[in-house]
Amino acid sequence: MTDLAAVKAALTSQAVETASWAYGNSGTRFKVFTQPGVPRTPREKLDDAAKVHEFTGAAPTVALHIPWDTVDDYAALAAYARDRGLTLGAINSNTFQDDDFRLGSVCHPDPAVRRKAVDHLLACVDIMDATGSRDLKLWFADGTNYPGQDDLHARQDRLAEALATVYERLGEGQRMLLEYKFFEPAFYATDVPDWGTAYAHCLQLGPRAKVVVDTGHHAPGTNIEFIVATLLREKKLGGFDFNSRFYADDDLMVGAADPFQLFRIMYEVVRGGGLTADVAFMLDQCHNIEAKIPAIIRSVMNVQEATAKALLVDGEALGAAQRSGDVLEANAALMDAYNTDVRPLLAEVREEQGLDGDPMGAYWSSGWAEKTAAERVGGQQAGWGA
């Protein structure tokens, strides 16, 4: 039997971090479609994020990206967020948009380019000091396109050296989250292509270095929940970049392509004791053709639905079936939870928090979309096309 009060308490305390860049215009390398009312400044992105939090009650932090969210005074930006009931979340670095990084950043063969990349990462930690952010999130576009282009082994050595320099600089309570991705923009060998490489570096660095699982960064068919279970066992799961994919790094709304996979992931999170603040549940998505704030609200709700289903798994029945080797009953215990319609439960949880049970409806009737469309002219691009 599941303890409904415990399930509700877990759902009430769950927080999903939204990404500043998801509020801006985005697209593919073919076309960036502009939308009315899109934020023009980091502050306006926070205004939109505050709406997501207002209607879901579950999105209290916002990840920033440097330099896309560059401001003169980061402490003032953090105060601006606080005034809107938000705090600033992970600081995402960018070592992929500069001409100097054609052959890589921290893995580049030229020490001067590596130094430039490390300086940027250190500047990101300075920003974390000002914003009070806990996490530095590192994703490296580094890699090679052709066999022989550079020395794979030496590139790992350079990466390790750069990471160690930044790790040393972390302040108390700060963490380094290392993200992996199997290809793109490099097409032959990516320098952090998989969880094993990220894990090996994090293990070497120490307890404050952890792995980020971006759900869109795996080869088709990869069992992501197995990776999650393993990282949790090793106390190395720092968080998620949630999104969904049909083909490559599509950055579509989490839970849209494969809600069953999201459920399986959240089940391993619950099973492995990962439903805590130690694991950052972040969204890393682009809303190229759909309205952005409602898409982010939908994404938060999709994470909540998968979590609710995971929490509803009858652990006793599942355990008993597993111990007796009853394959079908064990599978049925998971599927029963997955096939439960948790929307009424989540509506109840929201209403108990004083929120509208229907965040999407509440947002659409709030007038925010019309107000921002009228007031904001010339919305900002998210920062990249794809």
User: 236 or 245, CB closer to Zn ion?
Assistant: 245
List the one residue from 18, 56, 61, 92 that touches ligand AOS (CB under 6 A): 92
List the one residue from 48, 150, 225, 241 that touches Zn ion (CB under 5 A): 241
User: 57 or 104, CB closer to ligand AOS?
Assistant: 104
User: 225 or 284, CB closer to ligand AOS?
Assistant: 284
Among Zn ion, ligand AOS, none, what binds residue 245 when CB lies within 5 to 8 Å by partner kind? none
With CA atoms as reference, report the closest residue to 356 among 115, 51, 43, 3. 51
Site string for Zn ion, 46-85 (x = CB under 5 A): ----------------------------------------
Rounded to an integer, what distance in angstroms lies between the CA atom of residue 155 and that of residue 189?
11
Instruction: Write out the binding residues for Zn ion, residues 258-287 only, by CB under 5 A.
Output: 284
- Number of residues forming the site for ligand AOS (CB under 6 A): 10
DSSP annotation of 373: H
Rounded to an integer, what distance in angstroms lies between the CA atom of residue 283 and that of residue 285?
6
User: 190 or 307, CB closer to ligand AOS?
Assistant: 190
Rounded to an integer, what distance in angstroms lies between the CA atom of residue 108 and that of residue 347?
51
Using rule CB under 6 A, residue 139 touches ligand AOS: yes
Using rule CB under 6 A, residue 284 touches ligand AOS: yes
Residue type, 367: G
Among ligand AOS, Zn ion, none, what binds residue 288 when CB lies within 5 to 8 Å by partner kind? none
Site string for ligand AOS, 292-331 (x = CB under 6 A): ----------------------------------------
Using rule CB under 6 A, residue 25 touches ligand AOS: no
Site string for Zn ion, 187-226 (x = CB under 5 A): ---------------------------x------------
Check: CB of residue 116 under 8 Å from CB of residue 100: yes
Residue type, 100: D
Site string for Zn ion, 288-317 (x = CB under 5 A): ------------------------------
Using rule CB under 6 A, residue 181 touches ligand AOS: yes
Rounded to an integer, what distance in angstroms lies between the CA atom of residue 44 and that of residue 42?
5
Helices (H), 100-171: 111-131, 152-169
Check: CB of residue 234 under 8 Å from CB of residue 274: no
With CA atoms as reference, report the closest residue to 51 among 378, 365, 380. 365
Among ligand AOS, Zn ion, none, what binds residue 305 when CB lies within 5 to 8 Å by partner kind? none
> How many C-beta atoms lie closer than 10 Å to residue 40's C-beta?
14
The token pair at 221 is 């068919």
List the one residue from 17, 214, 268, 356 that touches ligand AOS (CB under 6 A): 214
Check: CB of residue 212 under 8 Å from CB of residue 241: yes
Report the run of H or E that residue 280 belongs to, with start and end. Answer: strand 280-283
- Footprint on this chain of ligand AOS (rule: CB under 6 A): 21, 65, 92, 139, 179, 181, 214, 241, 249, 284
- Footprint on this chain of Zn ion (rule: CB under 5 A): 214, 241, 249, 284
